[in-house]
Amino acid sequence: MNEFEWRRQMRDLRQPRTPPRDLWASIDAALDDVELTRAPTAQAALAQPPAHRRRWLVAAALAASVLLACGIGWNLQHAPATTTLASTATPPWKPADPRLAGAAIELDAARMELQMALQQSPDSPVLQRLLNRTEHQQTQLHQLAGQAG
């Protein structure tokens, strides 16, 4: 068989063909048989789930509720205290010289962020050094503002 014959046979396959017998009657009968055998069990299964499935769902719901309650409790217990920040925070200082005002705002924001970080991990020496350095820079800025103005 050469390529031309092969192509002609392929083109012939594109033509519509009718089956030797009607297939829809047997398909329809098979679907009816399946529906008749499944219908009572499917309706019963939809009406009420099995007992073991209900117990599983109740146990899962109870476990999720307990986990949620424990998570909320833990979060409340370990939440940073915002009242201590408000009581220890000094009012923001704004120098009269506009060139120093931006630096004062940045240093004040850095100091507040470092204090919040220290509340989350109070034993961190790195955070303590950064806070000391920031407070020292604020002191130097106060001195510069006093000299400038």
For 105-129, what is each residue's pLDDT tens digit?
A: 888 889 999 999 989 988 888 889 8
- Flag whether 12 is in a domain: no
- Within this chain, do residues 86 and 70 fall inside the same structural domain, yes or no? no
- 41: domain range? 26-77
- Flag whether 61 is in a domain: yes
- Flag whether 144 is in a domain: yes
- Flag whether 2 is in a domain: no
Domain boundary among 58, 77, 96: 77
Q: Which residues contact 120 (CB under 8 A, 6 or more apart)?
A: 80
Q: What is the mean pLDDT of residues 30-42?
A: 70
pTM: 0.39
- Within this chain, do residues 92 and 144 fall inside the same structural domain, yes or no? yes
8 A C-beta contact, residue 143 and residue 100: no
- Within this chain, do residues 87 and 142 fall inside the same structural domain, yes or no? yes
- Flag whether 87 is in a domain: yes
* Percent share of the chain, pLDDT over 70: 81
Measured distance CA(3)–CA(8) in Å, rounded: 9
Measured distance CA(115)–CA(133) in Å, rounded: 13
